[in-house]
Amino acid sequence: MTVAACAAAHGLTATEAARRLAEHGPNEVTADHRVPLWARIAAQLRDPLITVLLAAVALTLAIGDHPDAVVIALVIVVNTTVGVVQEVRAESAVAALSRLSAPAARVLRDGEQRKVPSAGIVPGDVVALAEGDIVPADARLVESAALLVDESMLTGESLPVTKAVEAAAPGDDTVRAGTIVLRGRALAVVTATGAESALGRVATLLRPRPEPTPLQRRLAGLGRVLAAVAVGLCAVVFVLGLLRHQPPGEMGVTAISLAVAAVPESLPAVVTLALALGARRMAARHAVVRRLPAVETLGSVSVLATDKTGTLTEGRMVVERLWTPHTTAVVTGTGYGPAGGIRLDGTADDEVKGLLTTAALCNDAALRPPTGGDGEWGALGDPTEAALLTAAGKAGLDHERLREAYARVAEAPFDSLRKRMTTVHHTPGGRLLACLKGAPEAVLDPAVLAEPPELLEQARNAAARLAAEGYRVLALAERHLDHLPEAPEEAEHGLRLLGLTALADPPKPTAAATLAVCRDAGILPVLVTGDHPATARALAVRVGLLSPSAGPEAVVSGHAIAAGEVADLTRTRVFARTDPRQKLDIIQAWRGQGAVTAMTGDGVNDGPALRQADIGVAMGRRGTEVARQAADLVLADDELATVVGAVAEGRRVYDNIRRFLVYGLAGGAAEILVMLAGPLFGLALPLRAAQILWINLLTHGLTGVAMGAEPLSPGAMARPPRPSRQHILGAGVWQRVLLLGLVIAAAALGAALWARGSERPWQSVLFVALLAAQLGVVLGLRERLLTRANPFLPGAVLASAALGAAALYLPFLRGVLETVPLSWGDLAAPAVAGLLGFATARLRKQGI
């Protein structure tokens, strides 16, 4: 035991621990201050479009149109409720950090070991750690034995880290809160708890609130425009009516009705329905949406920052290459299961079996057969050692029988100073066999191997080539002994080199194709990982992010970012050895360039970037709770390919929202033009206020909402994402609104003038023609005219047409709307208006 260990052997007294607990507070991450429910509701109601709808409710109540007021109010209630519920669910990321912490820990108090709640641990406590424990707080080692810790959740590093009191590298003598002990044992003195620990520092990065999504920003801008238009129209129509000596009361009601018509009050309902349907479709594709606006945001993503381990890769170490002095071999198959084999480049099969026999014997891991319905094998212990066992199995070796036949009698565990592990076994022939594995620089040494210099140089060159390709390389050797040494380390000389194993976390079979689809859709993939630069570069080449000729300079390290050596982070495609703060810097750099960013991740270290990105995507199976709670989208199958389907769904949603705006605003514009231009043609008051509101209810109601369920447009994934700063009516949409509005208005006025000239009930003809032209437009805007993917839309059009007819033929509605029945001959002009609306909409249906 070291001097420090002796000093810490008794730990703190209970009295001192209580004093420090009062001073430093509990060892837990405190959550953000909870926002009251009323404040959340008020924030939703401050949305400009909702403000317009609230004004519309007041106006419709003022004119006595209670049905319209109820419909608009219901839209407000549903939209606000959905927004509040999603916001509450999205803000539990910091609380998840507390759940991730170790629930209890073993500490030394008053000279004896006690089990205390993790929240009760204080700086200065001596914590006992063993295999399977979650480290409860940041601590410095004072005693350790073969300690191996999984830090991937904090660092993104796919390989476990060896920890020891006498560390070979800075930080290797400390353990951090939330990490997991894979092997060994240790005593450690706590140095930081709660918010001061590694988990606490990540929590401080999680707290900044996310900005509005692109859809929310666009709709807010549209709401402000519509509010101004509505107020302006009220004034213009009212003043013009007074100038024509119309009764002030009647013109006031008409002006208010037009203002309501100018606002597509069902837009929030359309948006909510489109997003909800998108969320349901994504769930069917194993993508669980946590915030509804994230559905549309995915469709606007222009940069996809993806992590490596478990997202682009399998998340398991696999032996892929073997080297022996006389042959090389390729190992096929992924995961820890027996599927796969070994393809030799030569004929030295015995050499390969000897190499893998030693790899299986000098090994403390175990393989676990499938227990669930997924059919996947698992591993206990070091993932690297489990990969070696899997490779041995593919060579036809049964590691359980090997261990029975070669009973272990001594061992020298791997540590970060020696960088090798040695075991001694009884052989079936009654002799002793020493098996050694370790880093090439610690094994390919004349002091360890009794091999000629030429062979050692050949092996070093082979190891260097494999390492440059991103592999983790291990060298293996053996030696027969005449007697059992007093210490296993005494057997670490005079050994015979067996060969090299090259291990990697291989890319998923779908990774390269998925990234290619992203590029075709105009989405730029960027790799951000905590792994070694060589490993990151090798993977980037394999999945097509970098060309094979790209040098090491193509990969930027977190150290270079921290040192300010990278002038423009958006010029790099692969980042390695990044910490949570640097991941945030990368996301913010892209957002500063106007990009809409998506970030994938699964670890605690990914949480801040997941929350900061426009859309955070977490892995559902292997991801931490922190990552899942910080994300907007959770992939239940951990497949990046699922993101592609989610992007397509997002584009479908956005297209449908814009298609509804074209339809709704064109109809509103047409009604306004009819009311303004009608008097110029001798139509003193073209439409009554009740007629305007009835048309508005039929077109913006059921029919408009049904547009939110339209299927994906052909070619949607072959076009680039829309610029984040593009107005929702940009890219020619407002011009199309005006064109359709003019055509609808001209067709309706033409029908009215024809009816007046032939002494027919012109106002009722105008009423039906305006409705028919808008229903023609909604059918003409369909990308796939005869598709069965959305039967609700043609059904809604038929229902609206039937309700329009009811306004003419049902006595009660005739009295309310002041209409008269029309003959079949009277309906000819409205039918022509409907056909004109349909034909105009079909002229340019692509690219809504």
Q: How do residues 409-422 score in pLDDT, each as one tens digit? A: 998 887 767 889 99
Structure tokens given for 11: 């730990």
Percent of the chain with pLDDT over 70: 82
Structure tokens given for 769: 């023609």
Least confident of 253-267, 362-376, 543-557, 824-838: 253-267
Higher-confidence position of 59 and 284: 284
Taking only the tens place, the pLDDT of each residue in 559-608 is 899 888 888 999 999 998 888 788 888 999 998 888 989 998 877 667 77
CA 23 from centroid of its chain's CA atoms: 39
Pick the CATH number of 293-313+509-638 from 3.30.1330.100, 3.40.50.1000, 1.10.260.40, 1.20.1250.20: 3.40.50.1000
Least confident of 116-130, 210-224, 660-674, 782-796: 210-224
Cα–Cα nearest to 2, from 161, 171, 189, 190: 189
Residue 280 CA: distances (Å) to CA of 107, 206, 521, 628, 666: 48, 28, 23, 18, 30
Q: 3-class SS at 18?
A: helix
- C-alpha 290/C-alpha 89 separation (Å) is 7
Residue 242: pLDDT band by 50, 70, 90 thresholds? confident
Q: Which of 125, 172, 173, 307 is catalytic?
A: 307
* Spatial CB neighbours of 753, under 8 Å, sequence gap ≥ 6: 681, 683, 762
**307 flagged as catalytic:** yes
The CATH homologous superfamily of the domain defined by 214-286+647-843: Calcium-transporting ATPase, transmembrane domain (1.20.1110.10)
- C-alpha 156/C-alpha 386 separation (Å) is 20
Q: 529 and 576 in contact (C-beta within 8 Å)?
A: yes
Alpha helices in 781-827 (DSSP H): 792-809, 811-817
Residue 450: pLDDT band by 50, 70, 90 thresholds? very high
Query: pTM here?
Result: 0.69
The number of residues making up the chain comes to 848
Mean model confidence pLDDT for the chain? 82
Residue 95: pLDDT band by 50, 70, 90 thresholds? very low
Average pLDDT over residues 327-336: 90
The whole-number pLDDT of residue 106 equals 84
The whole-number pLDDT of residue 92 equals 45
The third-level CATH classification (topology) of the domain covering 3-30+97-206 is 2.70.150
Indicate if the pLDDT at residue 45 is higher than 90.
no
The third-level CATH classification (topology) of the domain covering 318-503 is Calcium-transporting ATPase, cytoplasmic domain N (3.40.1110)
User: Domain extents for the chain?
Assistant: 3-30+97-206, 214-286+647-843, 293-313+509-638, 318-503
Taking only the tens place, the pLDDT of each residue in 630-639 is 788 888 788 8
Taking only the tens place, the pLDDT of each residue in 791-828 is 889 999 999 999 999 999 998 888 878 889 999 999 99
Indicate if the pLDDT at residue 25 is higher than 70.
yes
The whole-number pLDDT of residue 277 equals 75
Q: Which of 235-249, 478-492, 704-718 has the highest mean pLDDT?
A: 478-492
Taking only the tens place, the pLDDT of each residue in 511-565 is 999 999 999 999 999 999 888 888 889 899 999 999 888 877 889 998 899 888 8
The whole-number pLDDT of residue 4 equals 47
The whole-number pLDDT of residue 1 equals 46
Strands 633-635 and 597-601: unpaired
What are the strands, taking DSSP E only, across 431-495? 432-438, 472-481
Average pLDDT over residues 313-322: 89
Average pLDDT over residues 131-149: 83
Q: Which helix (H) or strand (E) holds 191?
A: strand 180-192
